[in-house]
Amino acid sequence: MGASVTTGLQMAAARPCIPACQRLLGSRAALPSFARALSTQTGFASCRKTASAGPFVSLNHKRFAVRAMSAHGLPIDLRGKRAFIAGVADDNGYGWAIAKALAAAGAEILVGTWVPALNIFETSLRRGKFDESRKLPDGSLMEITKVYPLDAVFDSPEDVPDDVKANKRYAGSSNWTVKEVAETVKNDFGTIDILVHSLANGPEVKNSLLETSRKGYLAAVSASSYSFISLLQHFLPIMNPGGATISLTYIASERTIPGYGGGMSSAKAALESDTRVLAYEAGRKGKIRVNTISAGPLGSRAAKAIGFIEKMIEYSYVNAPLQKELLADEVGNTAAFLASPLASAITGSTIYVDNGLNTMGLALDSPTLST
């Protein structure tokens, strides 16, 4: 099975919430110092919550939006930049939210979509099914310049086994291995500035590590971490100096999350380690920055593959320092910052976007605390 779009506990992302004001969303309380400075210059637009992720989220909870671009102050300005986002197959994942934030900041958007999902994704785009979620802060619709078929599990045509070649889900598509996609992007556009890895797949994610097969373990690492190395290998030659890459990880890389199995925790640990090594190598070779975002649990259709995503969302809400729903758009806004010149000295870092859950060492809702 090929690399699919990254999801909730890094197996799926939440559908970006789209309130009436159509702003990219984020809590002012959650903003680090650079964004608070930004907010004082750009201003906030308050939006009332329109939907709840669960009964534990108040319908009266207010959110605030920071504009990704501003005509004054300290803007995130990506005009003239081109981004390739690997792992966009619908309008409710991290990759989509990142694409929107980059587009709002002025970047041109190219996406790579898993081959079996390509037809449905392109059809939905053409028929306007994503138009509501394509809306940017200025009211315009995010434009995707080109959609490329991509299966990041395979580096080159020689790596594709016969059963995949014969699979009807791949029929009609060509040039979808990592090497071929990079070459096609080069032929189409010459260069890119931003590379986003929003891919993860663990076929045995419901299995404990003790019950995970070698095949399942290696498949998780191949799709979820080595795919980033492969993408950077092949795209680095066409990335402009000063460019940036961003991947997505999860706290299971460093903490035990029972139920997040099949080798996925190992894959995320590898991804974070590779981020540090590749920051050195790509920095010296191409002046490219390499960072990863450790996002908290977010719910979506794909996250149901894990089986307990709603419980993890509730756990996060109850135990995180910032007691609010985490939004995919907050991950997107962070990615826009990391891709911008404002983050020109940040590389090799894991940036937590999880309402601070990673800092906690004690579950506040533990029954033992009430006895």
Give 150's DSSP letter. E
* DSSP H or E segment with residue 123: helix 115-126
Active-site annotation holder among 94, 226, 260, 317? 260
CB 29 within 8 A of CB 23: no
Closest CA relative to residue 5, chosen from 97, 67, 79: 97
HSE-CB of 229 using CA atoms within 13 angstroms: 17
Tell me the C-alpha distance between 328 and 343, whole Å.
20
Q: Catalytic: 217?
A: no
Active-site annotation holder among 94, 148, 217, 250? 250
Residue recorded with tokens 């070698």 = 214
CB 327 within 8 A of CB 16: yes
Say how many C-beta atoms besides its own lie within 10 A of residue 222's C-beta. Answer: 19
Say how many C-beta atoms besides its own lie within 10 A of residue 291's C-beta. Answer: 22
Beta-carbon contacts of residue 242 (< 8 Å; ≥ 6 apart): 193, 287, 288, 341, 344
Tell me the C-alpha distance between 230 and 182, whole Å.
10
Closest CA relative to residue 325, chosen from 346, 299, 347, 351: 299
Tell me the C-alpha distance between 12 and 211, whole Å.
23
CB 98 within 8 A of CB 338: no
Residue recorded with tokens 């390499």 = 290
Q: Which two tokens stand for residue 88?
A: 């966009």
Q: Catalytic: 260?
A: yes
Q: Which two tokens stand for residue 321?
A: 């320092």
Task: Name the residues annotated as catalytic.
Answer: 250, 260
